[in-house]
Structure 1
Amino acid sequence: MNASLRVAVLSLSILGLAACAGTPTKTAYAAPGLSKHAIEGMDRDSQYVSAVERVARRRGIDVVWVNPPDRRKLARTPTP
């Protein structure tokens, strides 16, 4: 009984360690510097940004864009 209990505990601990060793270290990792703009189809909404900054300058307000506005690029159709 004692020997079979030792074998059971040893085998369960080995299985537990094997399960931990198989998991990836970084599950949801995005490289720094990779943004939505790296993905094709997105572009800065520069017209909106310039309009807001122009109004802010007239009012004496400093604007710091944390999440600048984006817009989708227009899909270009190939010309025949």
Structure 2
Amino acid sequence: MAVAGLSACASMDDGRASLSPDTRTIGPDEAYRSRVETIARRRGIDVTWVNPPVREETLVASGD
């Protein structure tokens, strides 16, 4: 029974350690917020962001 348990552990290696780190980052989408707030201000509307818009960006590795 112990042999079966050990072989199950060895087969569970899915290679996570060999994957590169995530190159995506999520940050505020200031350009979109600015456009919406400018249009709203022209129309006399006050915008309160409950869930501010975010933008997903991919980081580019430098050639250092």
- Normalising by structure 2, we get a TM-score of 0.57
Deviation of 1:74 (Å): 2.5
In the alignment, residue 34 of structure 2 is paired with which amino acid?
A: S
In the alignment, residue 52 of structure 1 is paired with which amino acid?
A: V
Q: Which has the higher contact order (CA 8 A, sep 6+)?
A: 2
Deviation of 1:42 (Å): 0.8
After superposition, the C-alpha distances for 1:22-58 in whole angstroms (9 at most, x for unaligned) are: xxxxxxxxxxxxxxxxxx7111000000000000000
Structure 1 or 2, whichever has the larger Rg, is 1
Which structure has the highest helix share of the two? Answer: 1
Count of equivalent residues: 41
Which structure has the highest strand share of the two? Answer: 2
CA RMSD between the two structures = 1.5
Q: Stretches of 4+ moved more than 3 A in 1?
A: none
Deviation of 1:77 (Å): 1.7
Q: Find the residue that maps to 2:58 and give its secondary structure.
A: coil
Show structure 2 runs of 5+ residues with no match. Answer: 1-23
Show structure 1 runs of 5+ residues with no match. Answer: 1-39
